Amino acid sequence: MNEKSEFKNLIEGIAGDMVNDVHTSAIARIEAYDPVLMKADLTILQTGDEIFDVPVGHLNVGEFIIRPPYKVGDKVVVVFAESSIDEVISTGEQKESQAKEKHSITDAIVVSGLHTWETELPHEHENDLIIAKKDFSSKVVIKETGEVIIESDSNIFLGENAQDGVPLGDQLKEWLDNHVHDYYWTADGGSGSTSPPSTESPNPSEKVKVE
């Protein structure tokens, strides 16, 4: 082997080692999940590497939050930060020594869940924004037309400890506007009915609809 070939192999070997130490993104499986601290333990599916206490990304803006209910076994997309993340997350600043650590596997962040091709989601609402169970049995939909749909095969509670059922507006209005009361004259046995109310009940909401 000539000197040129040896030098080429050396450079390729160094470059290969550098690339192997740089991590960009991966698919991982959740092995443990803490919904309070928003951390997870993961197994990187492409390599089998295990990483622990990985921050779980979620919508967190000001006083508002959307927290996804990840479960053990869920597949997620992981990215590896430009430099060490521990100090940045806790203090908002980074030590100079940590800034030199580039794309380490220990600086992973879960950025989203991953729907596998093993199952299909329902085909409805393809053009709408939806928060739902995967079978769409419970869903909140903002349609592209602007309509909002809240639907569930189970109960819908307006309040954590709600107990009372909500009447159907059109049916309740019809009953209120047309109900009568029977009355009797005990003296001669006569009977009759009152007239319906002289004023109509308030109209049901035209914006909130139930089935």
Number of domains, the chain = 3
The Cβ of residue 187 has, within 10 Å, a number of other Cβ atoms equal to 6
The verdict on 12 and 108 lying in the same domain is yes
> Do 76 and 137 fall into the same domain?
no
Q: Is 170 left (phi over 0), alpha (psi -120 to 50) or beta?
A: alpha
**Is pLDDT above 70 for 14?**
no
**pLDDT, averaged across the chain:** 82
Question: Does 41 have pLDDT greater than 70?
Answer: yes
Structure token pair of residue 151: 């639907």
Determine the pLDDT at residue 30: 97
Answer yes or no: do 9 and 73 share one domain. yes
Range of the domain at 136: 120-159
